[in-house]
């Protein structure tokens, strides 16, 4: 049940010239709780109705009546309403307990498809902090999209093609060793790559060799292909370790190489549409009309580029997944690239191109500086995650030494801390990486929300009741009411979080729910034996449902005990 909708329906009974959605958008939450639960501002009606907003508010306040509205008052130019705590709380708690984890479901995506391109690390290169952010944000957005009814396809667009593979092949053949690559693929391949560059400065012939090996690779030479495939497999094995730790899965690993045999068609189409022009030997799409630099399609040696593959991938995805939206969760430094790709597709006449969206995000900082996994400063991500799990293990051992499943819980808490820390800020902001901060059990952290959930579960364990037959009476005290009102917002927060591609909306909301609940718990004796006991248990149960489901949407587990 949505109270804004209910209220809007009441209002338009008296103002039939307005549409329900118009009214719904106007309805706000009063600044002060004492002013009511919802407020309708009448400013914009003054002109149409030729009356002052104050007059309109008074007339509406006199007219509106509804069993769910306890009081309707004019407050200057606003019509403020107080919901009937008793009826509404009963109804909300019953709904949450019946719907369980489905509570909060939104139907905006029903029978629509969405493609989410995220993570997408590069073969033979370290999994960077940027890839971590993309993984965490993309995974959350995928789950949130599902909750909104979308049919979601998660794609890992691996960076598995490009001239660097020519260099790697040369370097491996000259200085490489099979066992060391197997033992430590990323580190070993990266150092081969670095060695190639230092050696090539002294010996420019190496670059020639690399070019010719890349050419062989493109022509399907067996040896080149076998090495490429092996580098890819070994790298993917490493990346998979990180995905396992984070519990992230993909529907497709079709990366850049997958489009090799599909790019001719893109280039042909561009030619036919007369969109290609020559520029210093290269083929480009001129984008001067939209004040952008040209989009490079083919280099002078005929090699295709990153953009050519993204153009081809978009067409392929549309043809195969028939998406309404396709989002790319990639760092903001690639903003220009995606602008160019989207505009070229529009120029090609693809009307679906308006469904393509770049969802950018900021950097991870360490002591105020961009945290990098390159240039010798390799922070092995796997190590960072394992360290978080270890730290979580220590605080759990101190807090709750007898906990069963300590290992599993520490994993949920350590990984949850990293994910929550990333998602609690708006994604465009930079994130300062601090394991100690993210693992605190108080404040705005993942462990705080998880701990609140576990605490609520432990209250329920202490009571004896039959969950399917709880006798729920309305709760009317102000502390319960704050919690109830918060729980009521869940689906609108989910919808907002999806439409803005902002998992932070949900993260912030979970902090609010936790704070409201902890305040409630600090002042109310949930388990005292009176006629409202079962109603209070229902409230606690409802909180566990919303916290657990909210964390799930972010990609975080909620242990029952910790
Ligand atoms: N592999 C790229 C990188 O690491 C990201 C790819 C993003 N996805 C895409 N369709 N371009 O920078």
Give helix 478-488 / helix 533-554 axis angle, nearest 10°: 40
* Ligand 1 close to Cβ of residue 157 (< 6 A): yes
- Chain segment 484-503, per-residue pLDDT in tens: 999 999 999 999 999 999 99
Span 163-179, pLDDT tens digits: 889 999 999 999 999 99
DSSP result, 500-522: TT-HHHHHHHHHHHHHHHHHHHH
| pLDDT tens profile 26-71 | 999 999 989 999 999 999 999 989 999 999 999 999 999 999 999 9
Check pocket membership of 310 for ligand 1, CB cut-off 6 A. yes
- pLDDT beyond 70 at 378: no
- Please choose from 117, 118, 127, 159 the residue to mutate so as to test ligand 1's pocket, defined by most ligand atoms within 8 A of CB: 159
* Mean pLDDT of the residues in the chain: 94
pLDDT (0 to 100) of residue 327: 98
Cα 36 to ligand 1 centre (Å):
48
Say what the pLDDT of residue 383 is: 86
Q: Which DSSP helix (H) or strand (E) runs through 85? A: helix 85-99
Nearest CA to ligand 1 atom 5: 120
Q: What is the pLDDT of residues 380-417, one digit of tens each?
A: 788 889 999 999 999 999 999 999 999 999 999 999 99
List the one residue out of 487, 545, 496, 485 whose CA is nearest residue 144: 496
**What is the 358 CA–ligand 1 centroid distance (Å)?**
11
CA of 330 to the centre of ligand 1 (A): 7
More confident residue, 486 or 124: 486
Q: What is the mean pLDDT of residues 535-540?
A: 97
380-412 b/e (C-beta count within 10 Å ≥ 16 → b)? ebbebbeebbebbbebbeeeeeebeebeebbbb
User: What pLDDT is attached to residue 445?
Assistant: 97
Single pTM value for the model: 0.94
Distance from Cα 134 to the centre of ligand 1, integer Å: 10
Domains of the chain: 3-83 (3.30.1360.70)
Q: Is the pLDDT of residue 375 over 70?
A: no
Residues of the chain with pLDDT > 90, as a percent, come to: 86
Give yes or no for residue 186 having a pLDDT over 90: no
- What average pLDDT does the segment 335-356 reach? 98
- Average pLDDT over every residue of 451-474: 93
CB distance 330 to ligand 1 below 6 Å: yes
**Separation of 121 CA from ligand 1 center, angstroms?**
7
Task: Write the CB contacts of 386 (distance below 8 Å, at least 6 apart in sequence).
Answer: 245
Nearest one of 207, 310, 229 to 215, comparing CA atoms: 207
d(CA 542, CA 13): 33
Partnered with residue 75 across adjacent β-strands are 78
**What would the pLDDT profile of 237-275 be if each residue is shown by its tens digit?**
999 999 999 999 999 999 999 999 999 999 999 999 999
Quote the ligand 1 centre to 95 CA distance (angstroms).
42
Mutate to test the pocket of ligand 1, among 130, 157, 356 (most ligand atoms within 8 A of CB): 157
Residue predicted with more confidence, 420 or 125: 420
Query: Could you tell me where the DSSP H helices lie in 439-502?
Result: 446-462, 478-488, 490-499
């Amino acid at each position: 049940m949505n109270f804004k909708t209910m209220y809007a329906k009441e209002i338009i009974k008296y103002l039939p010239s307005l549409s329900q959605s118009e009214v719904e958008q106007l309805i706000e939450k009063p600044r002060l709780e004492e002013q009511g639960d919802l407020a309708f501002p009448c400013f914009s009606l003054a002109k149409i109705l030729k009356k002052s907003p104050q007059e309109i508010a008074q007339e509406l306040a006199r007219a509106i009546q509804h069993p769910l509205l306890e009081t309707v008052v004019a407050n200057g130019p606003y019509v403020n309403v107080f919901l009937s705590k008793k009826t509404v709380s009963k109804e909300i708690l019953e709904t949450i307990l019946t719907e369980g984890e489905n509570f909060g479901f939104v139907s905006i995506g029903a029978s629509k498809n969405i493609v989410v391109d995220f993570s997408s690390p590069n073969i033979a290169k370290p999994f960077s902090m940027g890839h971590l952010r993309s993984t965490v944000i993309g995974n959350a957005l995928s789950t949130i999209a599902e909750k909104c009814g979308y049919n979601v396809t998660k794609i890992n667009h691996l960076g598995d093609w490009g001239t660097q593979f020519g260099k790697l092949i040369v370097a491996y053949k000259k200085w490489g060793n099979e066992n060391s690559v197997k033992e430590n693929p990323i580190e070993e391949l990266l150092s081969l790559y670095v060695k190639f560059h230092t050696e090539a400065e002294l010996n420019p012939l190496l670059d020639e060799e690399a070019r010719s090996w890349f050419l062989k690779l493109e022509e399907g030479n067996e040896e080149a292909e076998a090495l490429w495939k092996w580098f890819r497999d070994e790298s993917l094995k490493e990346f998979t370790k990180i995905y396992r730790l984070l519990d992230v899965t993909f529907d497709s690993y079709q990366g850049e190489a997958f489009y090799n045999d599909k790019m001719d068609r893109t280039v042909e189409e561009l030619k036919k549409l007369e969109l290609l022009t020559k520029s210093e030997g290269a083929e480009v799409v001129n984008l001067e009309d939209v004040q952008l630099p040209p989009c490079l399609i083919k280099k002078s040696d005929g090699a295709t580029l990153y953009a050519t593959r993204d153009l081809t991938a978009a067409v392929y995805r549309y043809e195969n997944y028939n998406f309404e939206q396709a989002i790319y969760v990639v760092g903001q430094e690639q903003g220009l690239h995606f602008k160019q790709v989207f505009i070229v597709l529009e120029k090609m006449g693809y009307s679906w191109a308006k469904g393509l969206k770049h969802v950018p995000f900021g950097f991870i900082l360490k002591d105020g500086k961009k945290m990098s996994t390159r240039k010798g400063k390799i922070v092995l991500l796997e190590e960072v995650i394992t360290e978080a799990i270890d730290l979580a293990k220590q605080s759990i051992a101190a807090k709750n030494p007898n906990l069963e499943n300590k290992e599993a819980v520490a994993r949920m808490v350590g990984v949850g801390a990293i994910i929550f820390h990333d998602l609690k800020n708006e994604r465009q902001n930079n994130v300062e990486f601090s394991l100690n901060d993210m693992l605190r059990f108080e404040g705005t952290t993942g462990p705080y929300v998880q701990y609140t959930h576990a605490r609520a579960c432990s209250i329920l364990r202490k009571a004896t009741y039959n969950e399917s037959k709880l006798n729920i009476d309305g709760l009317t005290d102000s502390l319960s009411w704050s919690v109830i009102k918060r729980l009521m917002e869940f689906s609108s927060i989910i919808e907002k979080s999806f439409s803005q591609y902002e998992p932070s909306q949900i993260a912030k909301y979970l902090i609010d729910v936790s704070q409201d609940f902890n305040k409630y718990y600090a002042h109310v004796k949930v388990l005292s034996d009176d006629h409202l006991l079962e109603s209070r248990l229902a409230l606690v149960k409802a909180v566990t449902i919303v916290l657990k489901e909210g964390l799930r949407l972010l990609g975080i587990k909620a242990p029952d005990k910790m």
